[in-house]
Structure 1
Amino acid sequence: MTLHSLPLFVRLVARPVILLGEGEAADAKRRLLDRAGAVVVGEDVSATLAIVALDDEAEALAAVARLKARGILVNAVDRPDHCDFTLPAIVDRDPVLVAIGTGGVSAGLAAALRQRLEALLPASLGTLAKGLHAGRATLRARFPDGGERRRAIAAALAPAGPLDPLEERDVAAWLVDPQAPAPATLVRIALTSPDPDDLTLRQARLLASADRVFHAADVPRAILDRARADAARIAGGPTDEPGLSIRLDMA
């Protein structure tokens, strides 16, 4: 399965972004750019990003063509087929940002998902992130091995763990005595179907934490994509069980 877009977080503070158009759609984009600290400019200014929020179809497409000819990445409001990038719905728990995108297909769906996540994610999430950042030196000293350190953090952030991100947690208290993770091991997952939605919560957590994923050749890409992007994926290896199966190296 190929990503239709690669999600990126771009720092725009004091950087020019071209915005063309007037009215409600353009005003909404201007507010978002202002919030990101961008400098909103006209078409005649040098920039790397542009947003075209023009109502007239011919005028909008002509502007898109001119801007793309200059090598500028363009977002064409309500015209997803002409977009080089799209603007997601955002949940802001500074410095944590959750972006929900649909490739411009349904802004309404992205907005509805954002509303659900707003209710789910506590305001303290940003404080948790800052605490983990501040504790990096302590964690490196306690767990010199990167894999062990990653597993310790994952265990702490697990549901009902000492740093469960959906609850109010004290990072400083946990850093006083962070618990060592379970020893590295191979864990087998027997899949009940090729549908990633049928993964249990435990299976999904294991996939997300594994360093290496050994999988049978018939395991669907949609399931393998639930693993970390940097986890090694190895077809074959210690997976001699018949049918859909995965072994995860938690080293």
Structure 2
Amino acid sequence: MHSLPVFLRLTGRAVILTGMGEAADAKRRLLERAGAVIVGEEAEAAIAIVSDGDEATAQRLRARGVLVNATDRPEHCDFTLPAIVDRDPVLIAIGTGGASAGLAKALRQRLEAMLPARLGALADALAQARGAMKARWPGAADRRRAIDAALAPGGVLDPLRADAADAVPGWLSADGAAATQGTVPIRLLSADPDDLTLRAARLLGEADVVYHHPAVPPAILHRARADAVRIIADAMPDASGEGLTLWLEMAE
């Protein structure tokens, strides 16, 4: 991973913007949408956008300890600006590390077509339902498994359903879909994570514990939840704990 993706809260905070023309205007609009206070080069700020990619300006700002984005000059960038899919409060950022803005744009357009306009309403509905979810599933692990099951493809709250936000009250009052539990074996046909089946990718995103043979490559393990426990083993465990456990091995 060449960069750490972050979302910066810029409301009321100073951001330096230099350069003129269409590129500067586009960056100004983006910063204004984020609530930033746009200032000039001599002002104090933690980050700066050099919209014309001027090397000398970028170097002066970096010498002051300012984090810089220099348009079309990735070698002078401390951070890059992604293509953005905005379903407020859901934001999806697509970055290529400055390699190809065109590729990031093409991916954004594909995602724009896939994601319902009311995806943000689903996020708001889930935020408002936090208290009700904690009351129904007091245990954090039980709560996470219930949410995972509801948000899974075809689930009652599948994010790709246009009416998913409206289904939240019914989901909380109904029995709902049962989350996968126990130990599930997965035989990997390839070391390439792009060859994972949809089912395997979904289970990796849900598992609490991942037992894996030493031959399973890190690229596959990176697809598991960041907080999932990973245990190297030579064989599938005899018993599993609470929640979902996976056993990963390479096919012979």
Structure 2: runs of 5+ lacking an equivalent:
238-245
1:236 matched to 2:233 = yes
Q: How does 1:158-197 map to 2 (within 5 A)?
A: 158-167=152-161, 168-169=163-164, 170-179=167-176, 181-182=178-179, 184-197=181-194
Q: TM-score, normalised by structure 1?
A: 0.90
Q: 2:110 aligns to what?
A: 116
1:214 matched to 2:206 = no
Q: 1:205 aligns to what?
A: 202
Matched residues in 2 for 1:155 and 1:73: separation? 40
Matched residues in 2 for 1:141 and 1:41: separation? 47
Specify whether residues 146 and 82 from structure 1 end up closer, same or farther in structure 2 by C-alpha distance, changes over 3 A only.
Answer: same
Q: Answer yes or no: is the 8 Å Cα contact 2:149–2:177 preserved in 1.
A: no
Structure 1: runs of 5+ lacking an equivalent:
241-245
Specify whether residues 37 and 237 from structure 1 end up closer, same or farther in structure 2 by C-alpha distance, changes over 3 A only.
Answer: farther
Q: Answer yes or no: is the 8 Å Cα contact 2:62–2:68 preserved in 1.
A: yes
1:86 matched to 2:110 = no
1:53 matched to 2:64 = no
Q: CA deviation at 1:75?
A: 0.4
Q: 2:35 aligns to what?
A: 37
- Indicate the SS of the match to 2:112: helix
Q: CA deviation at 1:238?
A: 4.8
Matched residues in 1 for 2:235 and 2:33: separation? 50
Q: CA deviation at 1:182?
A: 3.7
- Indicate the SS of the match to 2:202: helix
Matched residues in 2 for 1:190 and 1:156: separation? 26
Specify whether residues 182 and 52 from structure 1 end up closer, same or farther in structure 2 by C-alpha distance, changes over 3 A only.
Answer: closer
Q: CA deviation at 1:155?
A: 0.7
Matched residues in 2 for 1:178 and 1:13: separation? 41
Q: 2:15 aligns to what?
A: 17
1:128 matched to 2:122 = yes
Runs of 4+ residues over 6 Å off in structure 1: none
Give the partner amino acid of 1:218. A
Give the partner amino acid of 1:148. D
Matched residues in 2 for 1:195 and 1:153: separation? 28
Q: CA deviation at 1:140?
A: 1.1
Q: Aligned-pair RMSD on alpha carbons?
A: 1.6
- Indicate the SS of the match to 2:185: strand
Matched residues in 1 for 2:190 and 2:91: separation? 33
Q: Answer yes or no: is the 8 Å Cα contact 2:212–2:232 preserved in 1.
A: yes
Q: Answer yes or no: is the 8 Å Cα contact 1:18–1:50 preserved in 2.
A: yes
Give the partner amino acid of 1:154. D
Q: 1:225 aligns to what?
A: 222
Which deviations, in whole Å up to 9, do the C-alpha atoms of 1:192-227 show, x marking residues without a partner? Answer: 010111111010000001122121222111111111
Q: CA deviation at 1:175?
A: 1.6
Q: Answer yes or no: is the 8 Å Cα contact 1:148–1:181 preserved in 2.
A: no
Q: CA deviation at 1:179?
A: 2.5
Matched residues in 2 for 1:112 and 1:180: separation? 35
Q: 1:243 aligns to what?
A: none
Matched residues in 2 for 1:17 and 1:236: separation? 50
- Indicate the SS of the match to 1:34: helix
Percent identity, aligned pairs only? 63
Q: TM-score, normalised by structure 2?
A: 0.89
Q: CA deviation at 1:178?
A: 4.8
Q: Answer yes or no: is the 8 Å Cα contact 2:69–2:76 preserved in 1.
A: yes
